[in-house]
Structure 1
Amino acid sequence: MTSAQSSNSNFSETDFLLEDSVDADNHNSDSTATRLSLQVQLDENYLGQRIDQVAALVWSEFSREKLKQWLKDGHLLVNGNIVKPKYRCEGNELLTLEVELEAQTSSQPENIPLNIVYEDDDIIVINKDVGMVVHPGAGNPTGTLVNALLYHEPKLAELARAGLVHRIDKDTSGLLVVAKNLEAQFSLSKQLAKKTVYRVYDLVVYGNIIAGGTIDEPIKRHPVDRVKMAILPGGRDAVTHYNVKERFRDFTRVQAQLETGRTHQIRVHFSYLGHGLVGDPVYVNRVRFPAGASAKLTDMLRSFKRQALHAAKLGLVHPRTGEEMMFEAPWPEDFTQLVEVLRTENEAY
């Protein structure tokens, strides 16, 4: 489901021009090159800063090392001239980047079905299935969302992270958005940084939460167990707003809205409250069976092997049209069954 309301979106910092040199619809061919032409007019805010640092700020979708190389190769010009990366800005320069994009990933395309909620020339909204890893990594070099996306749209190989601007965990289901071009990736990344992307999750937790609230606790990597994240001083700001949607005898269905997007944020925050997510294999030590639980509930809890977490709503401003768009994804079957069993259990008491 999508809804759209007109609003203005502009890119005052940068003018973009993307030109397709060759059609890229053939899944069997190499991804084709995109000619990229970018310009940005600096102001006094950049006075005295190194040009490679400034370029990394205004074009954050590229690595600083890549931008330094483009400076050296003459693809990134300052007032039409080649300068060294250590050049100090006067605060009134015109930066021009003319380059043909190369593949940004070594991942290979794979013919993996995608549940596409919405797609146009700029964005793809995916309803990710439970069990699908988003990005290749140690132990998961293939079979990921990135591999599927590269098959669906080969030109995504030219974008950092194949157009991904945010992630959800392997065993979390639901919505995420992928950019199909640099302009869209730039816009969506800025929206995420400004905390204007609307992300709402449905979850089921152990115990009874009385009322909604806000969790504002910093998150960083656990100092001992590197698989885990933890609430620790010096961590990155992490804010989760939540409200109670449904109460059961020993469980609560909650809806949480992310203000920030830290790794495992919802799982860590609710574990911190003492209300770990049903099925969470990392932050809940063991399956907890309430006293007097029916055989049906016991079987459901024992068989629910992933965190009961679903990215249900995603709101964003379209990068090209400026429309406000809202997407919704229904619960997957296992989440629906869990809630139905909990409702049935409630009726028995």
Structure 2
Amino acid sequence: MNPNLHDHDLIVINSSAGKDSMALTAYVARLVTAQGFTGPVVVLHNDLGVTRSGHPVEWPGVEALAREHAERYGFRFEVRRRERGGLWDQLLNERRKWMSSAARWCTSDQKTSQGIKLVTQLVEEFRAEAGITSRPVRVLYALGIRGEESDNRARKSILAVDEAHSSRNRTITRWHPIRDWTVGEVWAEIKAAGLRPHAAYSWGMSRLSCSLCVLASPEDLFLAAWLRPELASDYLWAEQELGHRFRLDLSMVEIVGGLHVAELEQAGNPDARTALGALAGVIRAVVQEQQDAKNADRAAAGKPPFPAKRVNRRTVAQLDKVMRCARRAVSLAPGRTPSREAA
């Protein structure tokens, strides 16, 4: 369902420089040309900041790449940053807990809030330039979300007024034009447009986003940590500093530890067996702690405890998952050339 762009005064395209953002930008550009829309089109990139060691939370080079994509079509390009600090500062100094699917403050605070601030600025500019005083400025706010990535995204409307952020001065309509696209259709759009993807895709990443996004697949997390060991080291430090597990099903200790074992294995180092045993011990201790907590809850509810052998099964399963992902990462980038933070 394509909107009539002339029903809107200006368009904002959100871009992380990832594949969905690229396809979104190219698609909107095609529609702008087809419909002869002459209003302002602005591409927004949100800078999420750096870690304590100065390493970008996002893949290096994404801002420049998003700018390149915008300039390809002559669109205005804007970068926004949270005034009170980037994702790392917010994590360590304010939230003190990692993000999760149920607590996506990274999106709400670092992206959405900054985007709405830009909209406020653009509306004021447009109102002054166009002399509009009798009606709200109509903003079409485009995001490159796709239903394949989650059930929640699949349920979102392709076109809907954002009542929460609209006002008497502006009407914001959220637009998700590629919601129903497959990943194949995304890459086909990019190829047809001739846009340059980020090098991380050629290294084996399936998504861009933050390099170590808590919502990423285990495969992507291990590969990103292998390609960016300095960033992984900072995240490991943060996990220990916070005393809060990176993800319920996967810790930074497991990611870094698994990659260490896989690297030793690849080099034929006999210490690999010892390192693997140590990693298994770490995993077992966590599994045991989790089972003890669950058994305490079950006892309080008058239920029998889980059997002790369940700890062994879960330890083996977790170790297998960790090492499968770690060995895959090391095999995809055996020389780890991209670790130099190149874009």
When the two structures are superposed, what TM-score results if normalisation uses the length of structure 2?
A: 0.21
Highest RCO, 1 vs 2 (Cα 8 Å, sep ≥ 6)? 2
Greater strand proportion: 1
When the two structures are superposed, what TM-score results if normalisation uses the length of structure 1?
A: 0.21
